[in-house]
Amino acid sequence: MPAPVLAAVHSTPLPPAVQQPAGSRSSWAFLIDIAVFLFVFAAIFGIYAIGRTWLGPVHPQARISQNPRDLPLYALYSLVRISVAYALSLVFALGYGYLAASSRRAEMILIPLLDILQSIPVLSFLPGVMLAMVALFPHRQLGVELGCVLLIFTGQVWNIAFSFYSSLKTVPNDLREAATIYRFSRWQCFAELDLPFSTIGLVWNSMMSVAGGWFFLMACEMFVLGKRDFRLPGLGSFLQTAASAGNTRAILWGVAAMIAVIVLLDQVIWRPIIVWADKFKFEQVESSAGTQATVLHLIGRASFLIRLYRLLFLPFFNWLTLMFTLGARRAAETFSAPKQHKLRRALGYLFAAAIFVGVGFAVFHAARELSRLHREDYVELLESAALTFLRVNTALILGALWTVPAGVAIGFSPRLARLAQPLVQIAASIPATALFPIILLFLLRLRGGLEFAAMLLMLLGTQWYILFNVIAGAIAIPTDLKEAARIFRFSSWDRWRFLILPGIFPYLVTGMVTASGGAWNASIVAEYFHFQGRIVSTPGLGSAISSASDSGRFDMLLASTLIMASVVVLINRLLWRRLYRLASSRFKLET
């Protein structure tokens, strides 16, 4: 190197970071070390507390405290239940959605079944699930805890399954053809095509599922069936106890604790995952600047979940890809197609026979249970179903009127998304049932106030399904299509007609389907509520289900649940299923 160049190099002052002696650390690094230590200590204590509680002897009757000092431990209990339920929901939704989308025969059975399961309220699952789990673990608290987790699972899983199924049905044909040309195995297609294409929808529906878990937490942690008490300590039971006692101070403390947990989850988990998911957007040009994380800038651009994924799960997925690819090649070389076809057909017949026997057994016992009801009971239930049908569809229309434009605005503007996303997450996660007592204090004084309160609670519980799916759909619209609309100077009407509505249509259908099912589910809380030591109710199918659950009338509970499931399935078959077919054929992104 010439001497002048060397002199120039030595005369250039080094940046402050380089001039620091080796091994020196900033004050931020010291604070981060303390935070990491405290986090690890809290995690160890939490695992110990959860293990001691779950594996300990069953408690005959849990005493729910209203002391704010118990809120951190209650928040930990509820967060663990929701997290376990979400992990189960994600695994189930991926398997269920993939099977329904990859097989026409399976789709004919699984999608109507998913409609039915989505329409069954949480309280209808409660008796069977709780009694079954307690019977499996009669001397351990684990049975009641697993029952609560499975009930939260039933409030989380359906919209994730619908989202994944809808995404798989709208994968562009050219991507499918490319996977066929490169001879991808089924695992490779799933891991390298299906999962990446559906990531944005899965992320936003996962946020909605966790929010739904918080919504139904009060019903799942505070359940009494006749003389059996299945109450569990947690934020949901804290809020329900405070609401039943009319303790406004305790309600505010509980809501504040829940907001604190939700904000922490948003900053540490959801915000970085949204940033990471943006790279799976299907487009042919580079997108503009996306959402940035906030708190995690202190510890790096990637969250600890992404780092954990890269450290543990990514090598495992790569190993699975290699093993499944080699297994597929060996199977193709060893076994012939007729043998595989015969084995698959035999397994299908065996599975169908098992389902037929199980369905016959269930139908026999259900018919015997329903025979106890009279004609007047069924007439009353049908009238109640009509009232709830009107409330559900009114809430659905009112929710769509504001969530569609708001979701498009958030999805199109990264700056607005940075501000609105945490607020939306907080608003969607706060159980409307926790605020319901405060709402009732004002509305019960008005004429028809209870009817309006029930409608408002349904709206608060269902509008977020539409909003989160519309945001995901707006984010997923390719940048090149947005730029084409800008270049050709589309008017506002043309942008909505030719770009926005076709782009978000598959997501909007998914949001409306899950919102409809969520509204029917929310009716069990909106139409029947324990308030200040008394029961406040309005006629409807949800009120009939809650009343039957309270009184232990399994015949009325079964009949009302079957009517609700029948109405929801009928609506899905006549309306939503046709819109799904339209979304997968006409509004699919193709190149």
Pair 415, 442 in one domain:
yes
Looking at residue 293, its pLDDT comes to: 47
Q: Give the C-alpha distances (Å, rounded to integers) separating 280 from 197, 199, 267, 351.
A: 6, 7, 21, 37
Higher per-residue pLDDT: 386 or 219: 386
In a domain, 58, yes or no: no
Lowest mean pLDDT among 28-32, 102-106, 144-148: 28-32
Query: How far apart (Å, rounded) are the C-alpha atoms in residues 573 and 576?
Result: 6
pTM higher than 0.75 for the full model? no
Task: Kindly report, residue by residue over 117-137, the tens digit of the pLDDT.
Answer: 776 766 566 666 777 777 777
Task: Kindly report, residue by residue over 381-400, the tens digit of the pLDDT.
Answer: 899 999 999 998 998 999 99
Task: Kindly report, residue by residue over 152-197, the tens digit of the pLDDT.
Answer: 888 788 889 988 998 888 888 888 888 888 888 788 888 888 888 8
In a domain, 472, yes or no: yes
In a domain, 8, yes or no: no
Is the pLDDT score of 288 beyond 90? no
Query: How far apart (Å, rounded) are the C-alpha atoms in residues 476 and 474?
Result: 5
Looking at residue 19, its pLDDT comes to: 45
Identify the CATH number of the domain in which residue 43 sits.
Answer: 1.10.3720.10
The count of structural domains within the chain is 2
Mean residue pLDDT of the chain comes to: 76
Q: State the average pLDDT over residues 403-415.
A: 89
| Those residues with Cβ within 8 angstroms of residue 81's Cβ, 6 or more apart along the chain or in another chain | 145, 148, 149, 152, 217, 220, 221, 234
Looking at residue 4, its pLDDT comes to: 44
Q: State the average pLDDT over residues 53-74.
A: 75
Pair 271, 241 in one domain:
yes
Which domain covers residue 328, as residue numbers? 304-364
Query: How far apart (Å, rounded) are the C-alpha atoms in residues 76 and 257?
Result: 11
Distance of CA 15 to the CA centre of its chain: 47
Fill in the DSSP letter of residue 140.
Answer: B
Looking at residue 10, its pLDDT comes to: 42
Report the 3 state secondary structure along 486-511.
Answer: HHCCCCHHHHHHHHHHHHHHHHHHHH
| Those residues with Cβ within 8 angstroms of residue 187's Cβ, 6 or more apart along the chain or in another chain | 320, 321, 324, 325
Q: Which of 84-93, 407-416, 422-431 has the highest mean pLDDT?
A: 84-93
Looking at residue 481, its pLDDT comes to: 86
**Confidence at 326, pLDDT banded by 50, 70, 90:** low
Pair 275, 311 in one domain:
no
Q: State the average pLDDT over residues 234-255.
A: 81
Looking at residue 295, its pLDDT comes to: 47
Is the pLDDT score of 140 beyond 60? yes
**Confidence at 48, pLDDT banded by 50, 70, 90:** low
**Confidence at 271, pLDDT banded by 50, 70, 90:** confident
**Confidence at 22, pLDDT banded by 50, 70, 90:** very low
Q: Is 138 helix (H, G, I), strand (E, B) or coil?
A: coil
In a domain, 2, yes or no: no
Catalogue the E-assigned strands of 423-468.
none
Q: Is 57 helix (H, G, I), strand (E, B) or coil?
A: strand
Listed residues 346, 364, 382: the one ending a domain: 364
- Identify residue 375 by its one-letter amino acid code: R
Pair 97, 230 in one domain:
yes
Task: Kindly report, residue by residue over 419-469, the tens digit of the pLDDT.
Answer: 787 788 777 766 666 666 667 777 767 776 677 888 888 888 788 889 988
Is the pLDDT score of 1 beyond 60? no
Pair 143, 100 in one domain:
yes
Fill in the DSSP letter of residue 193.
Answer: I
Looking at residue 3, its pLDDT comes to: 44
Task: Kindly report, residue by residue over 201-215, the tens digit of the pLDDT.
Answer: 898 888 888 877 877
Pair 467, 357 in one domain:
no
Looking at residue 285, its pLDDT comes to: 52
Pair 316, 395 in one domain:
no
In a domain, 21, yes or no: no
Lowest mean pLDDT among 72-76, 278-282, 306-310: 306-310
Question: Closest Cα to residue 193, out of 174, 214, 215?
Answer: 174
In a domain, 447, yes or no: yes
- Identify residue 518 by its one-letter amino acid code: G
Pair 321, 412 in one domain:
no
Higher per-residue pLDDT: 375 or 344: 375
Number of C-beta neighbours around residue 415 at 10 A: 9
Is the pLDDT score of 90 beyond 80? yes
Pair 309, 172 in one domain:
no
Query: How far apart (Å, rounded) are the C-alpha atoms in residues 335 and 354?
Result: 27
Looking at residue 427, its pLDDT comes to: 77
Listed residues 331, 346, 364: the one ending a domain: 364
- Identify residue 64 by its one-letter amino acid code: I
In a domain, 52, yes or no: no
Q: Give the C-alpha distances (Å, rounded to integers) separating 26 from 17, 30, 35, 297, 500.
A: 10, 7, 15, 15, 48
Is the pLDDT score of 520 beyond 60? yes
Listed residues 347, 364, 381: the one ending a domain: 364
Is the pLDDT score of 364 beyond 50? yes
Pair 355, 326 in one domain:
yes
Looking at residue 241, its pLDDT comes to: 81
Is the pLDDT score of 331 beyond 60? no
Pair 315, 242 in one domain:
no
Directed axis angle between helix 27-54 and helix 71-102, to 10°? Answer: 80
Is the pLDDT score of 12 beyond 60? no
Question: Closest Cα to residue 212, out of 146, 265, 155, 294?
Answer: 155
Number of C-beta neighbours around residue 516 at 10 A: 25
In a domain, 93, yes or no: yes
Pair 343, 404 in one domain:
no
